[in-house]
């Protein structure tokens, strides 16, 4: 989803298009690759890395607000996933399982660092996350609005609005009840709308 679409969706409170569901052939191929990863097949590992690295790094960057740390977390997440690949039983989608690892690693980092929502944003993150935004002021406004949310709210909003996950998938990724996801998203959207309006008012007076 583009930045503009996300802004419109959150501001209007509308539903967002979810990520396309892999067809049975794609799921079968991925399952075969995961089985091969379990025995250390380098080609299969490369296949999984190629398929998910960009998405995982982007997710970590949104939650952590630091592209440098996002790269570290992505690498750590893949190492952990491959070490624990035999624990993936296929009851859920692999990307949801992998996303949960990433989000947990991100939130653990934020807790350890006691990062507040007022932490200065890493401006080098902006070009890679919001390349579709028309100008730098808009990029910064979007990022600052996201930054103002608590890490759990930001994670839920990113998973829904940017990654397109279903509510049930978000609940699985975050390890919380479905009702918690709904209330967290409602709060995140309301805070995003309020703070976005404030950001736009400030831009109008620059």
In angstroms, the CA 126 to CA 124 distance is: 6
143 neighbors 175 (Cβ within 8 angstroms): no
Give the domain range for residue 53: 3-204
In angstroms, the CA 71 to CA 205 distance is: 37
Dump pLDDT digits (tens) for 108-154: 988 887 544 444 444 443 333 444 445 556 667 777 788 888 889 99
In angstroms, the CA 104 to CA 119 distance is: 20
Q: Number of folded domains in the chain?
A: 1
> Any idea what the CATH number is for the domain that residue 184 is in?
1.10.1740.10
Dump pLDDT digits (tens) for 163-179: 889 999 999 999 999 99
Q: pTM for the whole thing?
A: 0.69
100 neighbors 174 (Cβ within 8 angstroms): yes
Report helix, strand or coil for 88: coil
- Per-residue pLDDT, 27: 81
161 neighbors 10 (Cβ within 8 angstroms): yes
Task: Copy the structure tokens of residue 9.
Answer: 């969706």
6 neighbors 162 (Cβ within 8 angstroms): yes
């Amino acid at each position: 989803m583009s930045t503009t679409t996300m802004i419109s969706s959150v501001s209007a409170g509308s539903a967002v298009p979810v990520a396309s569901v892999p067809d049975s052939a794609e799921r079968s191929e991925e399952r075969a690759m995961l089985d091969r990863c379990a025995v250390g097949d380098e080609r299969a590992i490369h296949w999984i890395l190629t398929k998910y690295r960009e998405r995982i790094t982007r997710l970590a960057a949104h939650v952590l607000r630091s592209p440098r740390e996002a790269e570290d977390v992505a690498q750590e997440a893949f190492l952990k996933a491959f070490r624990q690949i035999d624990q993936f039983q296929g009851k859920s989608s692999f990307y949801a399982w992998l996303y949960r690892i990433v989000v947990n690693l991100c939130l653990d980092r934020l807790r350890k660092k006691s990062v507040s929502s007022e932490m200065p944003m890493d401006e080098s993150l902006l070009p890679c996350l919001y390349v579709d935004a028309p100008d730098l002021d808009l990029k910064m406004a979007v990022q600052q609005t996201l930054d103002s949310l608590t890490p759990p709210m930001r994670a839920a909003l990113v998973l829904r609005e940017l990654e397109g996950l279903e509510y049930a998938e978000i609940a699985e990724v975050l390890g919380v009840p479905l009702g918690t996801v709904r209330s967290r998203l409602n709060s995140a959207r309301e805070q995003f709308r309020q703070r976005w309006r404030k950001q736009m008012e400030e831009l109008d007076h620059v």
